[in-house]
A = this chain, B = another copy of it.
Amino acid sequence: MRTSQLFISTLKEAPSEAELLSHKLMLRAGLIKRLGSGLYTWMPLGLRVLRKVEAVVRQEMNRAGAQELLMPAVQPAELWQETGRWDVFGPQMLKITDRHERQFCFGPTHEEVITDIARAELRSYKQLPVNFYQVQTKFRDEIRPRFGVMRAREFMMKDAYSFHADFDSLKATYDVMYGAYSQVFTRLGLKFRAVAADTGAIGGDGSHEFHVLADAGEDLLAYCPTSDYAANVELAEAFAPEAPRAAATQAMAEVDTPKQTACEDVAALLGISVTQTVKAIALVTTTGEFVLALLRGDHNLNEVKIGKVEGMADFRFATEEEIRSNLSCPPGFIGPVGVNANIRIIADRTVAAMSDFVCGANKPKFHLSGVNFGRDLPEPAVVADIRNVVNGDRCPDGKGGVLELCRGIEVGHIFQLRTKYSAAMNCTFLNEQNTLLPMEMGCYGIGVSRIVGAAIEQNHDARGIIWPEAMAPFTVAVVAVGYHKSEAVKAAADQLYADLSAAGVDVLLDDRNERPGSMFADMELIGIPHRITVGDKALANGEVEYVSRRAGEMQKVAIGEAVSFVKSQLA
């Protein structure tokens, strides 16, 4: 394509609405245009990127044996009432009332609709397994849409749903889809990790998220550089230290901490490591029980994990008043020593292995040092993994590696739903023994439009986007400097454009009558991976100039070899 026939609209500055770098760059490069809060038009250049992602997703889904269909975006409330999700999905679901006062939603996901199709169409184990997918515009009424296409209200999603006669078949398809997802992100040229994940609101057993690694990611991931272990921090198990608890060597003593309430400050005051301190966090259960959770001073409470301790589901943090009335002490100085015996102590595994530690004294302006379990206070009532893992923790896969943390942007999520939806909606089949059973189900989502933003978060520099080739709106830009002034430039550029196109290269000929600097800046901002410049000066030596967007160094190439040279540069 020629820039003279393509709508291009670049900006020097991003509109102030944009916070995130990818959002700013997408607006500046003219890939998207804002219509309203969380609503974006994909402009011609941006749509080319989206379609390339879509095509890779579709190819890998087909290769994985999934069959494409297309369900309505608008879904009747009745189906959602069958699974009970009409009331529990929350305000992200955009509810609609039609002219006949019937209720619908603009589908945020399609488990109910596909299960309705499956229960009508699939009756025998002979028809199973089957895996359906669609690529579709979805709507989620985010309370605060932001980050451009990364958290838009209207977005493009690939969602797949598989149906099985038994769990083994589900697991087999789940593995195939895991492989297909890995292949999608690999082909798109993205650095990514598949991580074990919580199943959240979709429900079911077993689940992996696929994250594009980027500093701006909303999710904190733990992975092992020496194995394939990776998990959302919320799910990564933290083990007890390998060494057993050391014997007590100090006597317990009150230490004066007039202004020090945070463990870091107490440690600094005492000249010790923060790893010798223990913090107590006061919680209240749904039955009103007052509980103290103990964590090493530098560790953070993992609310998902502690929520799984007996009686702790849906706990909340205690109020200052509750803390004062239970411990006779204000927050900042509380601790586990000398508390009423009916206050349950839940110690993190690491804390349970500590000796001679420092903690709050339950007395304003004082902490205790040299504290030891079994001597100064009872052994904790519960010892459990209740903290987030940190850099250097032992990897839970037992292969001897240590964890590192990084940030990721979730772009895919696969679930073993099991029979959550099929049981609720009576989606059954007859097995070989002629027994009626609910189908096993899996579901598999990819945020197609989100991938575009995530790719930019991972691939950019000060001049703009650096597209991986597979996603680039054009693979090669031919910038003709002086196209409207020099016959030689025009002839050479037109010929190169024709030759590259004929060689199957997706090429953009910049034939605008603009300053060279402005044309280069546009191509760099837009992020075309390879650029050939055709100008009078180099042409006089029978040459053109090649620059890789990522590497940046200019090379002269004989005009006759330009096509083969460019092809050799392609991934």
Task: Quote the shortest CB–CB distance from A49 to chain B (angstroms).
Answer: 11
Contact B36 A99 (CB under 8 A): no
Contact B44 A113 (CB under 8 A): no
Across-interface contacts of A117 in B (CB, < 8 A):
33, 41
> Is A469 on the interface with B (CB-CB < 8 A)?
no
Which of A69, A104, A137 has the largest count of B CB atoms less than 10 A from its CB? A69
Across-interface contacts of A43 in B (CB, < 8 A):
69
Residue in B7, B41, B116 whose CB lies within 8 Å of A70: B41
> Is A569 on the interface with B (CB-CB < 8 A)?
no
Known: A113-B35, A141-B98. A106 touches B74 (CB 8 A): yes
Contact B42 A75 (CB under 8 A): no
Contact A96 B91 (CB under 8 A): no
> Is A353 on the interface with B (CB-CB < 8 A)?
no
Which residue of chain B lies nearest to A74 when distances are taken between CB atoms in the complex? B154
Task: Quote the shortest CB–CB distance from A394 to chain B (angstroms).
Answer: 44
Across-interface contacts of A69 in B (CB, < 8 A):
41-44, 46-47
Across-interface contacts of A116 in B (CB, < 8 A):
35
Across-interface contacts of A40 in B (CB, < 8 A):
72
Tell me the complex Cα distance, A46–B74, Å.
19
Contact A39 B70 (CB under 8 A): no
> Is A425 on the interface with B (CB-CB < 8 A)?
no
Residue in B9, B68, B73, B106 whose CB lies within 8 Å of A121: B9
User: Which positions 68-125 of chain A face chain B at CB distance < 8 Å?
Assistant: 68-76, 91, 94, 96, 98-99, 104, 106, 113, 116-117, 120-121
Contact A137 B73 (CB under 8 A): yes
Task: Quote the shortest CB–CB distance from A427 to chain B (angstroms).
Answer: 15
> Is A65 on the interface with B (CB-CB < 8 A)?
yes
Task: Quote the shortest CB–CB distance from A358 to chain B (angstroms).
Answer: 47
> Is A270 on the interface with B (CB-CB < 8 A)?
no
Residue in B76, B94, B99, B136 whose CB lies within 8 Å of A98: B94
Across-interface contacts of A91 in B (CB, < 8 A):
99
Copies in the complex: 2
Known: A41-B117, A99-B141. A72 touches B5 (CB 8 A): no
Across-interface contacts of A139 in B (CB, < 8 A):
73-74
Residue in B47, B98, B141, B154 whose CB lies within 8 Å of A68: B47
Tell me the complex Cα distance, A47–B73, Å.
15
Known: A7-B67, A36-B76, A139-B74. A94 touches B96 (CB 8 A): yes
> Is A153 on the interface with B (CB-CB < 8 A)?
yes
Contact A106 B96 (CB under 8 A): yes
Across-interface contacts of A137 in B (CB, < 8 A):
73, 136-137
Contact A71 B106 (CB under 8 A): no
Contact A74 B39 (CB under 8 A): yes
Per-position 1/0 for A11-50, Cβ under 8 A of B: 0000000000000000000000101100111111011001
> Is A210 on the interface with B (CB-CB < 8 A)?
no
> Is A341 on the interface with B (CB-CB < 8 A)?
no
Contact A71 B9 (CB under 8 A): no
Known: A67-B44, A68-B44. A7 touches B132 (CB 8 A): yes
Across-interface contacts of A132 in B (CB, < 8 A):
7, 44
Residue in B41, B98, B120, B136 whose CB lies within 8 Å of A113: B41
13 contacts between A and B (CB under 8 A): A7-B130, A35-B76, A36-B72, A36-B76, A39-B75, A41-B71, A41-B117, A42-B70, A44-B132, A50-B70, A94-B96, A96-B106, A106-B106
Q: Give 8 new A-B contacts, CB below 8 A, not counting A91-B99, A96-B96.
A: A33-B121, A44-B68, A44-B69, A47-B68, A73-B154, A74-B153, A96-B106, A99-B141
